[in-house]
A and B are shown apart, each in its own frame.
Chain A
Protein backbone atom coordinates (compact mmCIF):
# COMPACT_ATOMS: atom_id res chain seq x y z
CA UNK A 1 0.00 0.00 0.00
CA UNK A 2 1.44 3.38 -0.94
CA UNK A 3 2.14 6.12 1.60
CA UNK A 4 -0.56 8.28 0.07
CA UNK A 5 -3.15 5.50 0.26
CA UNK A 6 -2.19 4.82 3.86
CA UNK A 7 -2.50 8.50 4.69
CA UNK A 8 -5.90 8.68 3.09
CA UNK A 9 -7.02 5.53 4.87
CA UNK A 10 -5.87 6.82 8.24
CA UNK A 11 -7.51 10.18 7.69
CA UNK A 12 -4.17 11.98 7.98
CA UNK A 13 -3.91 13.20 4.41
CA UNK A 14 -4.14 16.94 4.45
CA UNK A 15 -5.88 18.14 1.34
CA UNK A 16 -5.39 21.78 0.59
CA UNK A 17 -8.11 23.25 -1.53
CA UNK A 18 -7.69 26.52 -3.36
CA UNK A 19 -10.43 29.10 -3.24
CA UNK A 20 -12.34 28.63 -6.48
CA UNK A 21 -11.54 31.45 -8.89
CA UNK A 22 -14.20 32.91 -11.15
CA UNK A 23 -14.57 30.82 -14.26
CA UNK A 24 -13.63 33.57 -16.66
CA UNK A 25 -10.49 34.36 -14.67
CA UNK A 26 -9.38 30.75 -14.98
CA UNK A 27 -9.87 30.51 -18.73
CA UNK A 28 -8.69 34.03 -19.55
CA UNK A 29 -4.85 33.74 -19.53
CA UNK A 30 -4.39 31.83 -22.83
CA UNK A 31 -6.58 34.37 -24.60
CA UNK A 32 -5.20 37.66 -23.29
CA UNK A 33 -2.26 37.84 -25.74
CA UNK A 34 -4.26 36.97 -28.89
CA UNK A 35 -6.97 39.38 -27.73
CA UNK A 36 -4.43 42.20 -27.29
CA UNK A 37 -2.94 41.52 -30.75
CA UNK A 38 -6.40 41.49 -32.30
CA UNK A 39 -7.29 44.80 -30.61
CA UNK A 40 -4.01 46.27 -31.88
CA UNK A 41 -4.67 45.03 -35.44
CA UNK A 42 -8.23 46.43 -35.48
CA UNK A 43 -7.21 49.76 -33.94
CA UNK A 44 -4.45 50.31 -36.53
CA UNK A 45 -6.86 49.52 -39.40
CA UNK A 46 -9.85 51.45 -38.07
CA UNK A 47 -7.83 54.58 -37.21
CA UNK A 48 -5.70 54.21 -40.38
CA UNK A 49 -2.46 54.60 -38.41
CA UNK A 50 0.48 54.91 -40.84
CA UNK A 51 2.72 51.84 -40.94
CA UNK A 52 5.83 53.97 -40.26
CA UNK A 53 4.30 54.87 -36.88
CA UNK A 54 2.65 51.64 -35.69
CA UNK A 55 2.60 48.64 -38.01
CA UNK A 56 -0.19 46.07 -37.55
CA UNK A 57 0.78 42.74 -35.96
CA UNK A 58 -0.11 40.89 -39.18
CA UNK A 59 2.56 42.85 -41.05
CA UNK A 60 5.13 42.23 -38.30
CA UNK A 61 4.42 38.49 -38.28
CA UNK A 62 4.58 38.38 -42.08
CA UNK A 63 8.06 39.96 -42.03
CA UNK A 64 9.19 37.59 -39.31
CA UNK A 65 8.07 34.63 -41.41
CA UNK A 66 9.48 35.93 -44.69
CA UNK A 67 12.88 36.76 -43.18
CA UNK A 68 12.93 33.98 -40.62
CA UNK A 69 16.49 32.91 -41.49
CA UNK A 70 17.90 36.36 -40.77
CA UNK A 71 15.89 36.85 -37.59
CA UNK A 72 16.71 33.37 -36.33
CA UNK A 73 20.41 34.03 -36.82
CA UNK A 74 20.15 37.39 -35.01
CA UNK A 75 18.13 35.81 -32.21
CA UNK A 76 20.75 33.08 -31.72
CA UNK A 77 23.49 35.72 -31.34
CA UNK A 78 21.45 37.63 -28.72
CA UNK A 79 20.43 34.40 -26.97
CA UNK A 80 24.05 33.29 -26.71
CA UNK A 81 25.13 36.63 -25.24
CA UNK A 82 22.19 36.67 -22.83
CA UNK A 83 22.87 33.13 -21.59
CA UNK A 84 26.61 33.80 -21.18
CA UNK A 85 25.99 37.10 -19.35
CA UNK A 86 23.26 35.59 -17.19
CA UNK A 87 25.52 32.69 -16.22
CA UNK A 88 28.38 35.05 -15.40
CA UNK A 89 26.21 37.48 -13.40
CA UNK A 90 24.40 34.77 -11.49
CA UNK A 91 27.58 32.78 -10.94
CA UNK A 92 29.37 35.74 -9.35
CA UNK A 93 26.24 36.56 -7.32
CA UNK A 94 26.03 32.99 -6.03
CA UNK A 95 29.70 32.92 -5.09
CA UNK A 96 29.37 36.20 -3.22
CA UNK A 97 26.15 35.18 -1.47
CA UNK A 98 27.67 31.88 -0.31
CA UNK A 99 30.85 33.66 0.84
CA UNK A 100 28.72 36.19 2.77
CA UNK A 101 26.87 33.29 4.43
CA UNK A 102 30.14 31.88 5.72
CA UNK A 103 31.57 35.29 6.55
CA UNK A 104 28.73 37.78 7.28
CA UNK A 105 30.94 40.94 7.48
CA UNK A 106 31.56 40.45 3.76
CA UNK A 107 27.94 41.46 3.06
CA UNK A 108 28.44 44.80 4.82
CA UNK A 109 31.75 45.31 3.02
CA UNK A 110 30.48 44.53 -0.46
CA UNK A 111 26.94 45.89 -0.47
CA UNK A 112 27.91 49.60 -0.82
CA UNK A 113 29.89 48.74 -3.96
CA UNK A 114 27.05 46.64 -5.31
CA UNK A 115 24.54 49.44 -4.65
CA UNK A 116 26.87 51.93 -6.33
CA UNK A 117 26.99 49.68 -9.37
CA UNK A 118 23.22 49.38 -9.30
CA UNK A 119 22.79 53.17 -9.08
CA UNK A 120 24.83 53.86 -12.23
CA UNK A 121 22.57 53.91 -15.31
CA UNK A 122 23.86 50.92 -17.22
CA UNK A 123 22.70 52.39 -20.53
CA UNK A 124 25.48 54.94 -20.02
CA UNK A 125 28.02 52.17 -19.42
CA UNK A 126 27.21 50.26 -22.62
CA UNK A 127 29.10 52.60 -25.01
CA UNK A 128 32.10 52.56 -22.64
CA UNK A 129 32.14 48.77 -22.62
CA UNK A 130 31.98 48.75 -26.41
CA UNK A 131 34.84 51.24 -26.53
CA UNK A 132 36.93 49.06 -24.21
CA UNK A 133 36.13 45.62 -25.56
CA UNK A 134 35.18 46.23 -29.21
CA UNK A 135 32.26 44.99 -31.28
CA UNK A 136 32.54 41.32 -30.29
CA UNK A 137 30.41 39.48 -27.74
CA UNK A 138 32.46 40.54 -24.68
CA UNK A 139 30.78 43.93 -23.95
CA UNK A 140 27.32 42.36 -24.41
CA UNK A 141 28.14 39.54 -22.00
CA UNK A 142 29.54 42.00 -19.46
CA UNK A 143 26.56 44.32 -19.79
CA UNK A 144 24.16 41.41 -19.29
CA UNK A 145 26.17 40.17 -16.31
CA UNK A 146 26.05 43.65 -14.73
CA UNK A 147 22.29 43.84 -15.16
CA UNK A 148 21.52 40.34 -13.83
CA UNK A 149 24.04 40.32 -10.99
CA UNK A 150 22.10 42.52 -8.57
CA UNK A 151 18.69 40.77 -8.50
CA UNK A 152 20.46 37.40 -8.30
CA UNK A 153 22.68 38.55 -5.43
CA UNK A 154 19.78 39.98 -3.41
CA UNK A 155 17.63 36.89 -3.97
CA UNK A 156 20.38 34.49 -2.96
CA UNK A 157 21.45 36.53 0.05
CA UNK A 158 17.85 36.47 1.28
CA UNK A 159 17.34 32.84 0.27
CA UNK A 160 20.43 31.51 1.99
CA UNK A 161 19.48 33.33 5.21
CA UNK A 162 15.78 32.47 5.11
CA UNK A 163 16.04 29.12 6.82
CA UNK A 164 13.79 27.72 9.53
CA UNK A 165 15.50 28.85 12.78
CA UNK A 166 14.41 25.62 14.51
CA UNK A 167 16.05 23.53 11.77
CA UNK A 168 19.20 25.65 12.02
CA UNK A 169 19.31 25.15 15.79
CA UNK A 170 18.86 21.42 15.29
CA UNK A 171 21.74 21.27 12.82
CA UNK A 172 23.93 23.12 15.29
CA UNK A 173 22.91 20.69 18.03
CA UNK A 174 24.14 17.93 15.72
CA UNK A 175 27.44 19.77 15.45
CA UNK A 176 26.93 20.28 11.71
CA UNK A 177 29.64 22.30 10.00
CA UNK A 178 28.82 25.50 8.11
CA UNK A 179 29.35 23.59 4.88
CA UNK A 180 26.91 20.85 5.96
CA UNK A 181 24.35 23.48 6.96
CA UNK A 182 24.78 25.08 3.54
CA UNK A 183 24.42 21.78 1.72
CA UNK A 184 21.53 20.29 3.66
CA UNK A 185 19.59 23.34 4.78
CA UNK A 186 20.50 26.69 3.26
CA UNK A 187 20.94 25.62 -0.35
CA UNK A 188 17.62 23.71 -0.66
CA UNK A 189 15.87 26.55 1.23
CA UNK A 190 17.28 29.00 -1.32
CA UNK A 191 15.97 27.10 -4.37
CA UNK A 192 12.69 29.01 -4.58
CA UNK A 193 14.65 32.27 -4.39
CA UNK A 194 16.90 31.05 -7.20
CA UNK A 195 13.91 30.81 -9.46
CA UNK A 196 12.60 34.18 -8.30
CA UNK A 197 16.02 35.57 -9.28
CA UNK A 198 15.86 33.81 -12.65
CA UNK A 199 12.39 35.15 -13.38
CA UNK A 200 13.66 38.68 -12.77
CA UNK A 201 17.06 38.22 -14.40
CA UNK A 202 16.06 36.50 -17.65
CA UNK A 203 14.18 39.49 -19.14
CA UNK A 204 16.98 41.75 -17.88
CA UNK A 205 19.56 39.53 -19.62
CA UNK A 206 17.88 40.07 -23.00
CA UNK A 207 17.58 43.80 -22.36
CA UNK A 208 21.28 43.96 -21.41
CA UNK A 209 22.38 42.11 -24.53
CA UNK A 210 20.20 44.24 -26.84
CA UNK A 211 21.23 47.55 -25.27
CA UNK A 212 24.91 46.60 -25.69
CA UNK A 213 24.30 45.47 -29.28
CA UNK A 214 22.59 48.79 -29.97
CA UNK A 215 25.82 50.64 -29.15
CA UNK A 216 27.86 48.64 -31.65
CA UNK A 217 27.67 45.10 -32.90
CA UNK A 218 28.02 43.00 -36.02
CA UNK A 219 24.95 40.89 -35.31
CA UNK A 220 22.05 40.21 -32.94
CA UNK A 221 18.55 41.54 -32.45
CA UNK A 222 19.85 44.83 -31.03
CA UNK A 223 21.79 45.41 -34.23
CA UNK A 224 18.68 44.53 -36.29
CA UNK A 225 16.62 47.00 -34.25
CA UNK A 226 19.22 49.71 -34.60
CA UNK A 227 19.37 49.26 -38.41
CA UNK A 228 15.57 49.31 -38.68
CA UNK A 229 15.31 52.41 -36.53
CA UNK A 230 17.97 54.21 -38.56
CA UNK A 231 15.95 53.48 -41.72
CA UNK A 232 12.62 54.33 -40.05
CA UNK A 233 11.57 50.78 -40.85
CA UNK A 234 9.02 50.29 -38.05
CA UNK A 235 7.76 46.83 -39.12
CA UNK A 236 11.30 45.40 -38.91
CA UNK A 237 11.97 47.20 -35.63
CA UNK A 238 8.78 45.73 -34.19
CA UNK A 239 9.62 42.32 -35.67
CA UNK A 240 12.90 42.22 -33.74
CA UNK A 241 11.12 43.50 -30.61
CA UNK A 242 8.47 40.77 -31.01
CA UNK A 243 11.13 38.10 -31.19
CA UNK A 244 12.91 39.54 -28.16
CA UNK A 245 9.68 39.56 -26.16
CA UNK A 246 8.95 35.97 -27.23
CA UNK A 247 12.40 34.84 -26.07
CA UNK A 248 11.98 36.70 -22.78
CA UNK A 249 8.57 35.15 -22.17
CA UNK A 250 9.85 31.67 -23.02
CA UNK A 251 12.76 32.11 -20.61
CA UNK A 252 10.41 33.33 -17.89
CA UNK A 253 8.09 30.40 -18.55
CA UNK A 254 10.97 27.94 -18.30
CA UNK A 255 12.04 29.46 -14.98
CA UNK A 256 8.46 29.24 -13.66
CA UNK A 257 8.23 25.61 -14.82
CA UNK A 258 11.58 24.84 -13.20
CA UNK A 259 10.36 26.42 -9.96
CA UNK A 260 7.30 24.19 -9.88
CA UNK A 261 9.43 21.11 -10.62
CA UNK A 262 12.33 21.77 -8.27
CA UNK A 263 10.78 23.78 -5.43
CA UNK A 264 7.53 21.78 -5.47
CA UNK A 265 7.21 21.75 -1.68
CA UNK A 266 6.34 25.45 -1.71
CA UNK A 267 3.22 25.00 -3.79
Chain B
Protein backbone atom coordinates (compact mmCIF):
# COMPACT_ATOMS: atom_id res chain seq x y z
CA UNK B 1 0.00 0.00 0.00
CA UNK B 2 1.30 3.41 -0.98
CA UNK B 3 1.23 6.75 0.72
CA UNK B 4 0.85 9.85 -1.45
CA UNK B 5 2.74 12.95 -0.35
CA UNK B 6 2.19 16.34 -1.94
CA UNK B 7 4.70 18.89 -0.69
CA UNK B 8 4.73 22.62 -1.28
CA UNK B 9 3.13 22.26 -4.69
CA UNK B 10 2.56 25.38 -6.76
CA UNK B 11 0.75 25.22 -10.06
CA UNK B 12 0.24 28.18 -12.34
CA UNK B 13 -0.56 28.53 -16.02
CA UNK B 14 0.34 31.42 -18.28
CA UNK B 15 -2.70 32.97 -19.91
CA UNK B 16 -3.02 36.15 -22.01
CA UNK B 17 -4.28 38.04 -18.94
CA UNK B 18 -1.28 37.00 -16.84
CA UNK B 19 -0.82 34.04 -14.49
CA UNK B 20 -3.59 31.64 -13.61
CA UNK B 21 -2.60 30.36 -10.19
CA UNK B 22 -4.24 27.07 -9.26
CA UNK B 23 -2.23 25.99 -6.21
CA UNK B 24 0.09 27.86 -3.91
CA UNK B 25 2.10 25.83 -1.45
CA UNK B 26 -0.34 22.93 -1.37
CA UNK B 27 0.54 20.22 1.13
CA UNK B 28 -1.29 16.91 1.50
CA UNK B 29 -0.60 13.47 2.86
CA UNK B 30 -2.84 10.65 1.70
CA UNK B 31 -2.56 7.63 4.02
CA UNK B 32 -1.66 4.31 2.40
CA UNK B 33 -4.64 2.15 1.48
CA UNK B 34 -7.12 4.92 2.25
CA UNK B 35 -10.08 5.99 0.17
CA UNK B 36 -9.68 9.75 -0.03
CA UNK B 37 -12.27 11.92 -1.71
CA UNK B 38 -11.49 15.45 -2.86
CA UNK B 39 -14.32 17.95 -3.14
CA UNK B 40 -14.24 21.63 -3.90
CA UNK B 41 -15.84 24.37 -5.97
CA UNK B 42 -15.81 24.07 -9.77
CA UNK B 43 -12.50 25.09 -11.29
CA UNK B 44 -10.58 24.94 -8.01
CA UNK B 45 -8.06 22.47 -9.44
CA UNK B 46 -9.27 19.04 -8.30
CA UNK B 47 -8.62 17.44 -11.69
CA UNK B 48 -5.35 19.35 -12.01
CA UNK B 49 -4.24 17.88 -8.69
CA UNK B 50 -5.05 14.38 -9.95
CA UNK B 51 -3.05 15.02 -13.12
CA UNK B 52 -0.08 16.18 -11.07
CA UNK B 53 -0.23 13.03 -8.92
CA UNK B 54 -0.47 10.91 -12.10
CA UNK B 55 2.59 12.61 -13.55
CA UNK B 56 0.57 13.90 -16.49
CA UNK B 57 1.32 17.47 -15.43
CA UNK B 58 4.55 18.67 -13.88
CA UNK B 59 3.91 21.16 -11.06
CA UNK B 60 5.43 24.62 -11.31
CA UNK B 61 7.11 23.97 -7.98
CA UNK B 62 7.06 21.38 -5.21
CA UNK B 63 7.28 17.63 -5.03
CA UNK B 64 4.95 14.68 -5.20
CA UNK B 65 5.77 11.16 -4.08
CA UNK B 66 3.90 7.91 -4.38
CA UNK B 67 5.67 5.81 -1.78
CA UNK B 68 9.29 6.46 -2.62
CA UNK B 69 8.72 7.13 -6.31
CA UNK B 70 8.06 10.28 -8.28
CA UNK B 71 4.84 10.27 -10.34
CA UNK B 72 6.82 9.60 -13.54
CA UNK B 73 8.56 6.63 -11.94
CA UNK B 74 5.25 5.36 -10.54
CA UNK B 75 3.73 5.63 -14.00
CA UNK B 76 6.59 3.65 -15.51
CA UNK B 77 6.16 1.00 -12.81
CA UNK B 78 2.46 0.84 -13.71
CA UNK B 79 1.43 1.68 -10.15
CA UNK B 80 -1.10 4.20 -11.34
CA UNK B 81 -4.63 3.37 -12.41
CA UNK B 82 -6.33 6.29 -14.12
CA UNK B 83 -10.03 6.70 -14.76
CA UNK B 84 -11.47 9.88 -16.21
CA UNK B 85 -14.98 11.24 -16.61
CA UNK B 86 -15.65 9.31 -19.82
CA UNK B 87 -14.93 5.65 -20.46
CA UNK B 88 -12.45 6.45 -23.28
CA UNK B 89 -12.94 3.02 -24.82
CA UNK B 90 -11.51 2.30 -28.24
CA UNK B 91 -14.51 1.62 -30.50
CA UNK B 92 -12.61 -0.82 -32.71
CA UNK B 93 -11.75 -3.10 -29.79
CA UNK B 94 -14.07 -5.49 -28.01
CA UNK B 95 -14.69 -5.36 -24.26
CA UNK B 96 -11.92 -7.92 -23.82
CA UNK B 97 -9.62 -6.08 -26.23
CA UNK B 98 -10.11 -2.78 -24.41
CA UNK B 99 -9.23 -4.35 -21.07
CA UNK B 100 -6.24 -6.15 -22.57
CA UNK B 101 -4.92 -2.87 -23.98
CA UNK B 102 -3.97 -1.81 -20.44
CA UNK B 103 -1.56 -4.77 -20.38
CA UNK B 104 -0.16 -4.33 -23.89
CA UNK B 105 1.38 -0.87 -23.56
CA UNK B 106 4.33 0.48 -21.57
CA UNK B 107 6.87 -1.31 -23.78
CA UNK B 108 6.51 -4.64 -22.02
CA UNK B 109 3.48 -6.82 -21.49
CA UNK B 110 2.25 -7.09 -17.91
CA UNK B 111 1.00 -10.08 -16.09
CA UNK B 112 -2.48 -9.06 -15.01
CA UNK B 113 -3.40 -8.99 -11.33
CA UNK B 114 -6.37 -11.12 -12.30
CA UNK B 115 -7.13 -12.80 -15.60
CA UNK B 116 -9.17 -10.78 -18.09
CA UNK B 117 -12.02 -13.24 -17.58
CA UNK B 118 -11.94 -12.73 -13.82
CA UNK B 119 -11.95 -8.95 -14.23
CA UNK B 120 -14.91 -9.12 -16.59
CA UNK B 121 -16.69 -11.33 -14.09
CA UNK B 122 -15.85 -8.91 -11.26
CA UNK B 123 -17.47 -5.96 -13.01
CA UNK B 124 -20.50 -8.01 -13.98
CA UNK B 125 -19.93 -8.18 -17.73
CA UNK B 126 -19.66 -11.93 -18.24
CA UNK B 127 -21.04 -12.81 -21.67
CA UNK B 128 -20.13 -9.43 -23.13
CA UNK B 129 -16.45 -10.19 -23.78
CA UNK B 130 -16.82 -9.90 -27.54
CA UNK B 131 -19.23 -6.96 -27.56
CA UNK B 132 -18.05 -3.63 -28.95
CA UNK B 133 -18.41 -0.39 -26.94
CA UNK B 134 -21.15 1.06 -29.14
CA UNK B 135 -23.33 -1.94 -28.28
CA UNK B 136 -23.13 -1.14 -24.56
CA UNK B 137 -24.96 1.33 -22.34
CA UNK B 138 -23.06 4.13 -20.59
CA UNK B 139 -23.00 2.20 -17.33
CA UNK B 140 -21.63 -0.92 -18.98
CA UNK B 141 -18.96 1.12 -20.74
CA UNK B 142 -17.86 2.53 -17.40
CA UNK B 143 -17.70 -1.01 -16.01
CA UNK B 144 -15.33 -1.90 -18.85
CA UNK B 145 -13.27 1.20 -18.05
CA UNK B 146 -13.17 0.13 -14.39
CA UNK B 147 -11.98 -3.38 -15.29
CA UNK B 148 -9.36 -1.85 -17.60
CA UNK B 149 -8.16 0.43 -14.76
CA UNK B 150 -7.72 -2.57 -12.48
CA UNK B 151 -6.13 -4.90 -15.05
CA UNK B 152 -2.47 -3.98 -14.43
CA UNK B 153 -3.03 -4.21 -10.65
CA UNK B 154 -2.34 -0.53 -9.88
CA UNK B 155 -1.44 0.42 -6.33
CA UNK B 156 -2.97 3.86 -6.65
CA UNK B 157 -6.34 4.58 -8.23
CA UNK B 158 -6.78 8.14 -9.48
CA UNK B 159 -10.44 8.63 -10.31
CA UNK B 160 -11.69 11.89 -11.81
CA UNK B 161 -15.47 11.94 -11.41
CA UNK B 162 -15.70 8.58 -13.14
CA UNK B 163 -19.45 8.17 -12.82
CA UNK B 164 -20.55 11.80 -13.13
CA UNK B 165 -22.26 11.27 -16.48
CA UNK B 166 -24.31 8.27 -15.38
CA UNK B 167 -27.88 8.10 -14.12
CA UNK B 168 -28.42 7.85 -10.35
CA UNK B 169 -29.33 4.16 -10.30
CA UNK B 170 -26.34 3.03 -12.39
CA UNK B 171 -24.05 5.28 -10.39
CA UNK B 172 -25.31 3.71 -7.17
CA UNK B 173 -24.59 0.20 -8.48
CA UNK B 174 -21.13 1.16 -9.65
CA UNK B 175 -20.25 2.86 -6.37
CA UNK B 176 -21.06 -0.39 -4.57
CA UNK B 177 -18.82 -2.28 -6.98
CA UNK B 178 -15.96 0.17 -6.59
CA UNK B 179 -16.15 -0.11 -2.82
CA UNK B 180 -16.13 -3.90 -3.04
CA UNK B 181 -13.20 -3.93 -5.46
CA UNK B 182 -11.22 -1.42 -3.41
CA UNK B 183 -11.61 -3.61 -0.31
CA UNK B 184 -10.34 -6.54 -2.33
CA UNK B 185 -7.35 -4.79 -3.95
CA UNK B 186 -6.23 -2.62 -0.97
CA UNK B 187 -5.24 0.26 -3.24
CA UNK B 188 -4.79 3.89 -2.23
CA UNK B 189 -7.64 5.79 -3.86
CA UNK B 190 -7.79 9.48 -4.69
CA UNK B 191 -11.29 10.25 -5.91
CA UNK B 192 -12.52 13.59 -7.22
CA UNK B 193 -16.22 14.35 -7.17
CA UNK B 194 -18.82 17.09 -7.03
CA UNK B 195 -21.31 14.74 -5.46
CA UNK B 196 -21.24 15.16 -1.69
CA UNK B 197 -23.40 12.08 -1.14
CA UNK B 198 -20.85 10.05 -3.08
CA UNK B 199 -18.09 11.53 -0.93
CA UNK B 200 -19.87 10.70 2.34
CA UNK B 201 -20.69 7.25 1.09
CA UNK B 202 -17.19 6.25 -0.06
CA UNK B 203 -14.56 8.21 1.80
CA UNK B 204 -12.29 7.32 4.67
CA UNK B 205 -11.09 10.87 4.37
CA UNK B 206 -12.73 13.88 2.74
CA UNK B 207 -10.51 16.75 1.67
CA UNK B 208 -12.35 20.02 1.00
CA UNK B 209 -10.45 22.40 -1.25
CA UNK B 210 -11.07 26.15 -1.34
CA UNK B 211 -11.47 28.25 -4.47
CA UNK B 212 -8.37 29.32 -6.41
CA UNK B 213 -5.60 29.38 -5.43
CA UNK B 214 -6.71 26.19 -3.76
CA UNK B 215 -5.70 25.17 -0.30
CA UNK B 216 -7.09 22.57 2.07
CA UNK B 217 -10.10 24.23 3.67
CA UNK B 218 -11.16 21.22 5.74
CA UNK B 219 -10.34 17.57 6.19
CA UNK B 220 -12.60 14.96 7.77
CA UNK B 221 -12.18 11.33 8.64
CA UNK B 222 -15.36 9.32 8.26
CA UNK B 223 -14.99 6.34 10.54
CA UNK B 224 -18.41 4.79 9.80
CA UNK B 225 -18.40 1.09 8.97
CA UNK B 226 -18.84 -0.14 5.39
CA UNK B 227 -20.93 -0.67 3.41
CA UNK B 228 -22.64 2.57 4.42
CA UNK B 229 -26.37 2.28 4.01
CA UNK B 230 -27.60 4.52 6.81
CA UNK B 231 -28.95 7.44 4.77
CA UNK B 232 -29.53 9.56 7.86
CA UNK B 233 -25.88 9.24 8.86
CA UNK B 234 -24.69 9.86 5.28
CA UNK B 235 -26.93 12.93 5.21
CA UNK B 236 -25.24 14.28 8.35
CA UNK B 237 -21.83 13.95 6.71
CA UNK B 238 -23.12 15.59 3.54
CA UNK B 239 -24.28 18.50 5.68
CA UNK B 240 -20.89 18.75 7.37
CA UNK B 241 -19.05 18.76 4.03
CA UNK B 242 -21.48 21.30 2.58
CA UNK B 243 -20.88 23.63 5.52
CA UNK B 244 -17.12 23.30 5.04
CA UNK B 245 -17.49 24.09 1.35
CA UNK B 246 -19.64 27.14 2.02
CA UNK B 247 -17.97 28.41 5.14
CA UNK B 248 -14.55 29.28 6.41
CA UNK B 249 -11.48 27.18 6.90
CA UNK B 250 -11.46 24.40 9.45
Which residues of chain B are within 8 angstroms of A2 by Cβ–Cβ distance?
A: 130
B131 and A170 within 8 A (CB): no
| Cβ-defined contact, B105 with A265, below 8 A | no
User: What 1/0 flags go to A184-196 for Cβ under 8 Å of B?
Assistant: 1100100000000
Whether B130 pairs with A3 at a CB distance below 8 angstroms is yes
List residues of B whose CB falls within 8 A of some A CB. 54-56, 75-76, 78, 80, 82, 84-86, 88-92, 101-102, 104-107, 127-132, 134-137, 140, 152, 158
A177 near B107 with CB under 8 A, answer yes
Tell whether, in the assembled complex, residue A174 and residue B105 are in contact, meaning their CB atoms are under 8 Å apart: yes
Known contacts A166-B88, A170-B84, A173-B56; is-contact A7 B106 (Cβ 8 Å): no
- The residue of chain A having its C-beta at the shortest distance from the C-beta of B101 within the complex is A184
Residues of B within 8 A of A169 (CB): 56, 82, 84, 88
A175 and B105 contact, Cβ closer than 8 Å, known pairs A7-B128, A188-B90, A265-B91: yes
Determine whether the beta carbon of A4 is less than 8 Å from that of B82. Answer: no
Measured in the bound complex, the distance between the Cα atoms of B75 and A177 in whole Å is 12
Q: Within 8 Å of chain B (Cβ to Cβ): is A180?
A: yes
> With contacts A7-B135, A166-B86, A166-B88 known, is A171 near B105, CB below 8 A?
yes
Nearest-neighbor residue (CB-CB) of A179 within chain B: B107
Known: A172-B56, A174-B105, A265-B134. A167 touches B75 (CB 8 A): no
Q: Please, which residues of chain A bring their CB within 8 A of the CB of B127?
A: 1, 3, 6
Q: Does A37 contact B (CB under 8 A)?
A: no
Give CA–CA (A169, B130) in the complex, Å: 25
Whole-angstrom distance between the Cβ of B130 and the nearest chain A Cβ: 5
Say what secondary structure dominates the interface of chain B: loop
Closest chain-A Cβ to B88's Cβ sits at a distance in Å of: 4
Residue A125 CB within 8 A of the other chain = no
Nearest opposing residue in chain B for A167, CB measure: B88
30 A-B contacts (beta carbon < 8 Å): A2-B130, A3-B129, A3-B130, A6-B131, A7-B128, A13-B135, A14-B135, A164-B86, A166-B84, A166-B85, A166-B88, A169-B56, A169-B88, A170-B82, A171-B105, A173-B55, A173-B80, A174-B75, A174-B105, A174-B152, A175-B78, A175-B105, A177-B105, A180-B104, A180-B107, A185-B90, A188-B92, A265-B91, A265-B92, A265-B134
A177-209 residues at the B interface, CB under 8 angstroms:
177, 180, 184-185, 188
Which residues in A have some Cβ–Cβ distance to B below 8 Å?
1-4, 6-7, 12-14, 164, 166-167, 169-177, 180, 184-185, 188, 265
How distant is B202 from chain A, measured CB to nearest CB, in Å?
A: 21
Cross-interface CB contact of B82 among A7, A173, A184, A265, cutoff 8 Å: A173
Task: Let me know if B137 and A167 touch, CB within 8 A.
Answer: no
B88 & A12 in contact (Cβ 8 Å cutoff)? no
Evaluate contact between B101 and A4: CB separation under 8 angstroms. no
Q: Smallest Cβ distance from B102 to chain A, in angstroms? A: 6
Other than the given A174-B102, A177-B107, 11 more pairs (CB < 8 A) read A3-B128, A3-B135, A12-B135, A13-B135, A169-B84, A175-B106, A176-B106, A180-B106, A184-B101, A188-B90, A265-B91
A4–B56 Cα gap in the complex (Å)? 37
A3 contact set on B, CB distance < 8 A: 127-131, 135
Tell me which residues across on chain A come within 8 A of B136, comparing CB atoms: 7, 12, 14
CA distance A180 to B54 in the complex (A): 19
**Docked CA distance A68–B184 (Å):** 74
Q: A12-B140, A170-B88 are in contact. Are A176 and B105 (CB under 8 A)?
A: yes
User: Which residues from A are CB-within-8-Å of B106?
Assistant: 174-177, 180
Q: Give A11's nearest chain B residue, CB to CB.
A: B137
The reply to whether A175 and B88 contact each other, CB–CB distance below 8 Å, is no
- In the bound assembly, the distance between CA atoms of A169 and B160 in angstroms comes to 12
B89 to chain A: closest residue by CB: A167
**A174 to B89 CA separation, bound complex (whole angstroms):** 14
Minimum C-beta distance from A76 to chain B (A): 36
**B-chain residues with CB within 8 Å of residue A166 when the two chains form the complex:** 84-86, 88
Contact of A4 among B75, B92, B102, B135 (CB under 8 A): B135
Q: Closest residue to A177 on the B side, CB-wise?
A: B107
With known contacts A4-B131, A12-B137, A180–B56 Cβ distance under 8 A = no
The 10 closest A-B pairs by CB, nearest first: A173-B82, A166-B88, A3-B131, A265-B91, A176-B105, A167-B88, A175-B75, A6-B127, A180-B105, A12-B137
State A6–B120 Cα separation when bound (angstroms). Answer: 15
Bound complex: CA A57 to CA B158 (Å): 68
